[in-house]
Amino acid sequence: MIKKCIGCGSILQDKEENKIGYTYSLDKDLCNRCFRIRNYSEYTKMDRPNNEYIDIIKNINKTDDLVLLVVDIFMIPKNIDEIFKYINNNVLLVLTKRDVLPLSIKNENIEIGIRKKFKNIIDYELISSLKNYNLDSLFEKINKYKKSKNVYVVGFTNAGKSTLINKIIYNYSDSNLEITTSIMPSTTLDTIKIDINDNLTLIDTPGLLVENSLMDKVTSKELKKIMPKNEIRPITYQIKEKQYIVVEDYIILEVSDVSLTIYASNSLKIDRKYKIKEYYSNIHDLKVNNQLVIEGLLYINFNKETNVKIYSKYNIDVYSRERLW
């Protein structure tokens, strides 16, 4: 009989120690990797090719089950729309991690931006799993829109899908199951079915990989600094002559004659400099309309269209986009 790890969904096996699903005894419910993440916060990188994750999402198309698309409101990936290529199901958009976005950004403005960006959704909810914010309202919407017992939870890696499901289990079911969550990408490796009640089964799925994201280049220790833990304090600079903004040892931004506001984790070291001794080899020269995104690290709002030069330690996506709010 096939037995799946209750933490990450992978099929348990006791043969190959370095492969997915390894456990030294098939009597266990957790694979070794999940056991180590949970008990020692020790993460072993163990991912599958992105096309296998895409195939899992595509399979949902064969059903008319409701889909919850979970999106990290601070790190909306560049290719977020890709998901709509794979599924035609009804999509309830769940914007999560509201707790890290500054409260000075009004929910009404977020709603306007979201309605403009996501045209193919039946509804949306702005939540924080961490703070239990709007979870009752989300749970009502799930019950309102679901067409069948099964509801799929999809999104990009690290969006907070499994954390949300754990919260729903805790709040609204008698079960004490817990899915493995972590700060590193590709924590969930296969589908995990969770019965919330007789009429509702949530199905967790592995997150699609974010292309060229800093998330994939750094250690878990670094990621702890990069991922905001609490409300972001935006940093504004008025820049006249040519200056440099340095973010840890990840990027150097070269700008002049502009006002900019940086949204990034409060734990990151951000400095303004007039001279730079050493640059990085990945160079991006681009015109930014009003928002610059460094994938997996931060975004910066500009008061006007401007030319910027970015030196990046790693080969990651750097691009301009229309700000949503």
Ligand X SMILES: Nc1nc2c(ncn2[C@@H]2O[C@H](COP(=O)(O)OP(=O)(O)OP(=O)(O)O)[C@@H](O)[C@H]2O)c(=O)[nH]1
Q: Which residues bind ligand X (CB under 6 A)?
A: 96-97, 99-100, 128-130, 155, 157-163, 181-183, 185-188, 206-207
Give the integer Cα–Cα distance in Å for 248 and 269: 5
Q: Which is nearer to ligand X, 284 or 296 (CB)?
A: 296
Q: Residue 150 forms beta bridges with which residues?
A: 201
Q: Which is nearer to Mg ion, 184 or 318 (CB)?
A: 184
Nearest approach in angstroms of CB 166 to ligand X is: 8
Which tokens belong to 290?
Answer: 């009003």
Nearest approach in angstroms of CB 216 to Mg ion is: 16
Contacts (Cβ under 8 Å, ≥6 apart) of 322: 289, 290, 291
Q: Rounded to 5 degrees, what angle do the CA atoms 169, 56, 151 make?
A: 35
Roughly how many angstroms between the first and final C-alpha of the chain, as a whole number?
51
Burial 168-200 (b: 16+ CB within 10 A, else e): bbeebeeeeeebbbbbbbbbbbbbbebebeeeb
Residue 188 found at the interface with Mg ion (CB under 5 A): yes
C-alpha distance from residue 199 to each of 57, 148, 169, 194 (Å): 22, 8, 14, 12
7 binds, among Mg ion, ligand X, none (CB under 5 to 8 A by kind): none
Nearest approach in angstroms of CB 178 to Mg ion is: 12
186 binds, among Mg ion, ligand X, none (CB under 5 to 8 A by kind): ligand X
Q: Name the one residue in this structure whose structure tokens are 């009404």.
A: 108
Nearest approach in angstroms of CB 140 to ligand X is: 18
Q: Which is nearer to Mg ion, 129 or 187 (CB)?
A: 187
130 binds, among Mg ion, ligand X, none (CB under 5 to 8 A by kind): ligand X
Q: Which is nearer to ligand X, 101 or 292 (CB)?
A: 101
Nearest approach in angstroms of CB 177 to ligand X is: 14
Which tokens belong to 227?
Answer: 């991922």
| Stretch in the footprint of Mg ion (CB under 5 A) among 28-36, 56-64, 166-174, 188-196 | 188-196
The footprint of Mg ion (CB under 5 A) covers 161-162, 187-188
